[in-house]
Structure formats: structure tokens, C-alpha cells
């Protein structure tokens, strides 16, 4: 007769030490190692170097003999006044611009992306064609589409001004990308135009996973379609939207190309990336530029952590 005693013998064996488990751990590290090495080389090393440079007074031409100056690039008290990145109004303006751009453009992208996805989710003739067509803005390289829009938004020859004037909406051409009032909205417009397909595609995938029968149940129960959208569809696609938002947010917080092509270094649209590039490349101030880059990294990391923390329940919903 074999009776298993749940006490001493079984518990005595150290769980961690089983052979199978050790093998699994080894296999896991074997598979992870190449990825970790690659990440360390292409992400970890540059990050560390940037952080190091931010603590020096290096310039593009004197990188070799840059000397360590501590946190002076960030903040320094000198002669009764504070200096450094943290006191630069232009830097804070860039931070604000970046956050504004990120929040507004990502919000608009999600709203319009979901609307486009809802349209694409309806059965109609030529749906496949429309689906492919919707992807075009996403497929065009940002530089190309930004250049394209720059021409269309051109104050003298641009088709946008031409159209608006023909329709009688405006009297005089507007310098969309040069005016301090409109340039931020112009870059948001272009970014939204370009990224709606991405959000729409993710939302569409989520929509197609939705249980059809729930909608029939709602129909029989006589629930208004708008209510069904907000109470059933939206909660069910939220996990997918959360993923779309995090991708987009990370992208938007380090936005560079769209804005650089459309408005160059204009202060009304200057973002953290553009600010850092200007310091590093134009002013050749590697130390100061690296400090900006380091802060940029910290802000993005902070935003991501905050987002993941706030959205943890919603994201978990998707893990079911």
C-alpha cells in the first residue's frame, strides 16, 4: 500500500533545485541572451554614453577631451543666478509642446481611428479595396508625407489655401506652417492623417474578434446601438486601444521628423527631440544636448510608467 504523506519528504526536496527546472532556466537564458546582448549594444550603451556626456562640457569638436562637470548642464548656481537646462524657458516650452502634441494627436488618432475601424467593419462592396487604400498614409515614409503636406500647406502655392479661398472660407492665404497660431495644428493634422490607419487597423482587428452573438442579444433586448457601442463595443476593444495608445504615445513623445520637415526649428512647434538636436548638432554642445536627451528619456519613461500604472486594470482585461 502506498499512502503519500504530504509532510516531510516532499517538502524537504528544494523546489528550485529540480533538474527539469534548472534545465528550463538554462534554456530560457540561452534564448534570451542574444536579445539581451543586442539590446545592451544598441540601446543600453548609447543611453549610458549619452548620460555620461550630459555630465561633461564636451562639444562636437572636443569630444575627446571633454571634462567632467557634474550636473552643471542641468542646473548650476553661478554669480547669483541659476543656469542650465532646467532654467531654459525654451526647454520647458519644448516639453510643453511635446506633451501638447502627444496628447492632442494621440487622442484625435484614437477617436478617428475607431471611427474608421467601425466603418471598415461593416460589410460593403469593395471593402477590401478600401481597407488597402486606408493603409496608404501609414505606408508612406514620414519624410515624404511631411514634404507632401508642406507643399499642400504652402501659403502661396498650396492647394489647401487655394481650396479654402475658392470655397470662400478664408479671404487671404494662411501661412499654416509658419504662423505661430496654426503651425502646431498643422503638424498635428499631418501626424493624425498619417497614423489613423495604424490605430484603425488595431481597432479593426479587435472589432473582428468581438462576439457577434452579443450584438444579436442586444438587438433582441432592444438596446440602442449608441448605447451598445459605449457599453459593449468600447469596453471590449479598450485593451487593444490601450496598446495602440502606448505605441502612439511613445512615438509622439519623441516626435521629430514630421515637425522638422514642416516647421524646422520654429519655437512654436519645437519639441524635446528638436531641441536636443539643435543643441547637439547646430550649437555643437554635446554636453548640454545630451542633458536634454537624458531628460527626454526620463520624461518618456515616466509617461510610460504612469500610463501603464493608470491603465493596468484595462490592460489586464485583454489578458483574459
For another protein, which is the closer residue by CB, 243 or 266? 243
Least distance from another protein to the Cβ atom of residue 83, Å? 53
Question: 73 Cβ partners below 8 Å, 6+ apart?
Answer: 54, 55, 57, 84, 85, 287, 288, 290, 291
Following CA atoms 67, 68, 72, 74 in sequence, which dihedral angle do they give, to the nearest 10 degrees?
110
DSSP 278: I
For another protein, which is the closer residue by CB, 24 or 231? 231
For another protein, which is the closer residue by CB, 22 or 231? 231
Least distance from another protein to the Cβ atom of residue 319, Å? 11
Least distance from another protein to the Cβ atom of residue 38, Å? 38
Least distance from another protein to the Cβ atom of residue 107, Å? 23
Least distance from another protein to the Cβ atom of residue 313, Å? 11
Which triple of cell numbers denotes residue 285? 554642445
Which triple of cell numbers denotes residue 298? 526620463
For another protein, which is the closer residue by CB, 75 or 214? 214
DSSP 56: B
Angle, alpha carbons 128-133-137 (nearest 5°)? 145
Least distance from another protein to the Cβ atom of residue 213, Å? 4
For another protein, which is the closer residue by CB, 66 or 210? 210
* CA 178 to each of CA 107, 207, 263: distance values in angstroms, whole numbers, following the listed order: 24, 40, 7
Burial class (CB in 10 A: 0-12, 13-18, 19+), 181: exposed
Question: 44 Cβ partners below 8 Å, 6+ apart?
Answer: none
Least distance from another protein to the Cβ atom of residue 231, Å? 7
For another protein, which is the closer residue by CB, 66 or 243? 243
Which triple of cell numbers denotes residue 20? 527539469
Least distance from another protein to the Cβ atom of residue 219, Å? 5
Residue 56 forms beta bridges with which residues? Answer: 68
For another protein, which is the closer residue by CB, 36 or 217? 217
- For helices 89-120 and 286-310, the axis angle rounded to 10 degrees is 40
Largest CA distance in the chain: 98
Question: 124 Cβ partners below 8 Å, 6+ apart?
Answer: none
For another protein, which is the closer residue by CB, 49 or 231? 231
Rounded to an integer, what distance in angstroms lies between the CA atom of residue 101 and that of residue 78? 34
Least distance from another protein to the Cβ atom of residue 200, Å? 22
Which triple of cell numbers denotes residue 269? 512647434
For another protein, which is the closer residue by CB, 186 or 237? 237
Which chain residues interact with another protein by CB under 8 A? 211, 213-214, 216-224, 227, 231-232, 235-236, 317, 320
Amino acid at each position: 500500500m502506498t499512502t503519500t504523506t504530504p509532510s516531510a519528504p516532499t517538502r524537504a526536496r528544494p523546489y528550485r533545485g529540480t533538474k527539469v527546472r534548472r534545465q528550463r532556466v538554462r534554456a530560457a537564458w540561452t534564448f534570451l541572451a542574444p536579445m539581451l546582448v543586442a539590446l545592451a549594444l544598441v540601446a543600453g550603451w548609447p543611453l549610458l554614453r549619452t548620460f555620461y556626456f550630459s555630465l561633461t562640457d564636451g562639444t562636437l569638436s572636443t569630444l575627446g577631451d571633454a571634462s567632467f562637470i557634474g550636473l552643471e548642464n542641468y542646473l548650476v548656481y553661478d554669480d547669483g543666478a541659476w543656469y542650465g537646462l532646467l532654467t531654459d524657458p525654451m526647454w520647458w516650452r519644448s516639453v510643453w509642446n511635446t506633451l501638447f502634441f502627444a496628447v492632442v494627436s494621440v487622442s484625435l488618432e484614437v477617436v478617428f481611428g475607431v471611427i474608421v475601424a467601425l466603418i471598415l467593419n461593416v460589410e460593403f462592396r469593395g471593402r477590401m479595396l478600401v481597407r488597402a487604400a486606408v493603409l496608404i498614409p501609414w505606408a508612406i515614409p514620414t519624410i515624404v508625407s511631411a514634404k507632401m503636406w508642406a507643399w499642400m500647406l504652402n501659403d502661396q502655392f498650396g492647394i489647401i489655401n487655394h481650396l479654402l479661398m475658392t470655397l470662400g472660407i478664408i479671404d487671404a492665404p494662411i501661412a499654416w506652417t509658419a504662423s505661430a497660431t496654426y503651425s502646431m495644428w498643422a503638424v498635428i493634422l499631418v501626424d493624425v492623417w498619417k497614423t489613423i490607419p495604424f490605430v484603425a487597423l488595431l481597432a479593426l482587428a479587435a472589432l473582428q474578434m468581438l462576439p457577434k452573438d452579443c450584438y444579436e442579444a442586444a438587438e433582441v433586448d432592444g438596446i440602442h446601438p449608441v448605447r451598445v457601442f459605449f457599453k459593449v463595443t468600447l469596453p471590449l476593444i479598450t485593451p487593444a486601444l490601450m496598446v495602440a495608445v502606448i505605441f502612439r504615445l511613445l512615438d509622439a513623445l519623441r516626435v521629430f521628423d514630421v515637425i522638422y520637415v514642416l516647421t524646422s526649428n520654429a519655437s512654436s512647434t519645437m519639441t524635446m527631440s528638436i531641441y536636443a538636436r539643435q543643441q547637439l548638432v547646430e550649437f555643437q554642445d554635446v554636453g548640454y544636448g545630451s542633458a536634454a536627451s537624458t531628460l527626454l528619456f526620463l520624461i518618456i519613461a515616466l509617461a510610460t510608467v504612469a500610463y501603464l500604472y493608470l491603465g493596468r486594470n484595462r490592460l489586464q482585461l485583454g489578458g483574459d
